[in-house]
Chains A and B, each alone.
Chain A
């Protein structure tokens, strides 16, 4: 278990010991927050509150305050929903799929990526809820016995599948995240001195004691949850894509949607992780744990999923012609040359060309370049959803119903507001929660830490033969 090829770059740089890992991760929590944190938090809070205000206005007035019209009944609301859900795919992918593949580099990023996932899914959930207009009857999406006769929700509808998919995904992600957090909260509980934080972390850590049997269960639970979460990740965005794919609108009615949406979700999620991680590692001095190698791995994932997305765009275009369905063909000609050409070509530039630059090793190892591309990718992915949704429905079957979508300031306020709220949550997380999985990082210190890896074995005892007993994951 403590063996890894010497030519592999170490995952933990510098001469760290177990206690150094604890200290490095706990330091930003124990220290006073830097001024920059307060500045960022205030900005995010103001934007978030503005968004909340817009939402209240929307609920009080009705969804007519959005720029929707008779032809375009879905626009920014569903675009933002799909965008946020997509971003919320990276966390569970990193922690679940990469756990199953035994990718140790995930340990530097999984905690904050999962937090990012949960907050992003929160933001996503806002949109279908407020789109109901009468948000107080949101529970009608649940199959609850009621006074309207034998009236049940329609289990044939992808919109209902979405209700189940998103709620399962959110709650399972929270549980997965929290189970990993418990041992680290215990570390904080045993470290902090001030009484109130000690009490708080004591409650949050559930009385974790780190017994051998607890750890045995911990590893199995992580493995099984990863096994459950992996198909879950793929199902969630597949079901989101069914919202469109099962309809009969040209441009939506496509069998390629599920894999294409899942790849797009991973693509945008990893980009968001890059954006956040690159700032966080610097601000919290975690450069030894999240370094160029991790960024490079994530860029490779971005490159692969970006290529899948690019292939899907071109396949879609080809099939619209090859199918011989004139409505389908028109939808796509209109997409790239109609009034929304600028959205289509923004999407193409951001999502097809930019990830291909990652083939160059110099570029994918450059932090500044990665940061810029990560933002470009998320802009592109927003346009992707906008193009799919609005450009497909703005040309109705009857030319007399043809229309354009112009967002209102409430559209903008709600969207920007969710970005603000997302950062409010993420900044609170970064301030009070351990942003790296302390316990898990310690398990890879001896195999992938720089000081252990490249030093001759100074421990003098032989432990190679124990490895056969290791039946669980690590």
Chain B
């Protein structure tokens, strides 16, 4: 189904934010905002939930802790217990102090890389993927608000244009997308 998309371009983050607030108050759904830097406070206005990547980082971290503990227990206690100066490695617990640095490092390594990888995959940013910002200026000093007609069935394109006029955009563009 062909869908119409309206791109309203602004030259200031605060103007866009106030505009989005006005539109949302009137019942318009703002599908996306493209900006050259994070606009603080825009997420709750256009209904974007906070990311749960932090929880993922925690899960990756405890995975790292566990892997390091299991591996070092196997290497140092089970497979080849060392006997240094008559102080043998009998249990993991007795020798744990020496294993803390590596456990910590491995935890950080798993958390950081796991989270970074998830971040790239969730954002769909990987080497070679095409950029999807509607205008090259949105990585410089322009801020674009995207309205989809299919998500705003209560309004016609003309009504949306009228509403947008009150928000102080600098350019308006309408495109057909599949």
Contact = CB atoms under 8 A, between A and B. Distances in A.
Interface of A: 1, 17-19, 22, 143, 150-156, 158, 160-161, 164-165, 167-168, 171-172, 175-176, 179, 182-183, 186-187, 189-191, 202-221, 224-225, 228-229, 231-232, 235, 239, 242, 438-440, 442-443, 459, 461, 463, 466-467, 469-472, 474
22 contacts: A17-B141, A22-B36, A143-B75, A155-B76, A155-B98, A158-B101, A160-B102, A183-B36, A186-B139, A187-B140, A189-B131, A209-B133, A212-B34, A215-B39, A221-B119, A228-B111, A228-B112, A231-B108, A439-B37, A442-B36, A469-B40, A469-B45
B76 to A, nearest CB: 5
B27 interface: no
B133 A217 contact: no
A155 B99 contact: yes
Contact of B119 (A179, A207, A242, A443): A179
Most chain B Cβ neighbours within 10 Å, of A143, A215, A220, A443: A215
Interface of B: 12, 14-15, 17-18, 32-46, 48, 50-51, 53-54, 57, 61, 71-72, 75-76, 79-80, 82, 84, 95, 98-99, 101-102, 104-106, 108-109, 111-113, 115-116, 119-120, 122-133, 136-141
Nearest to B43: A216
B116 A175 contact: yes
B108 A239 contact: no
Given A172-B108, A191-B136, A443-B38, A225 B115 contact: yes
A459 B116 CA distance: 38
B84 A156 contact: yes
Closest 4 pairs (CB-CB, A-B): A207-B129, A18-B141, A190-B136, A206-B125
Contact of A221 (B76, B116, B141): B116
Contact of A215 (B37, B104, B120): B37
Given A190-B138, A216-B48, 14 more contacts: A1-B40, A1-B41, A18-B141, A143-B75, A155-B99, A190-B140, A207-B126, A208-B123, A210-B35, A212-B32, A221-B116, A439-B38, A443-B37, A470-B40
Given A191-B136, A469-B41, A175 B46 contact: no
B38 A218 contact: yes
**Interface SS majority for chain B:** helix
A207 B43 contact: no
A17 B142 CA distance: 12
A235 B136 contact: no
Contacts of A467: 40-41
Contacts of B140: 18-19, 22, 187, 190-191
A461 B14 contact: yes
B78 to A, nearest CB: 9
Contacts of A183: 36-37, 139
Contact of A209 (B50, B111, B126, B131): B131
Contact of A463 (B18, B32, B101, B132): B18
B53 A224 contact: yes
A190 B141 contact: no
Contacts of B111: 224, 228
Contacts of B109: 164, 167-168, 171-172
Nearest to B141: A18
A187 B36 contact: yes
A399 B95 CA distance: 37
Contacts of B131: 186, 189-190, 202, 205, 207-209
A155 B75 contact: yes
A450 B103 CA distance: 47
B105 A165 contact: yes
B124 to A, nearest CB: 7
Nearest to A444: B37
A471 B50 contact: yes
Nearest to B42: A212
Contacts of A22: 36, 140-141
Contact of B35 (A151, A179, A215): A215
B76 A206 contact: no
Contacts of B139: 183, 186-187, 189-191, 208, 210
Contacts of B129: 206-207
A17 B111 CA distance: 37
B108 A220 contact: no
Nearest to B128: A203
Contacts of B136: 190-191
B108 to A, nearest CB: 5
Contacts of B99: 155
Most chain A Cβ neighbours within 10 Å, of B32, B40, B76, B124: B40
A175 B113 contact: yes
Contacts of A211: 32-34, 132
B108 A463 contact: no
A176 B32 CA distance: 26
B104 A235 contact: yes
A151 B33 contact: no
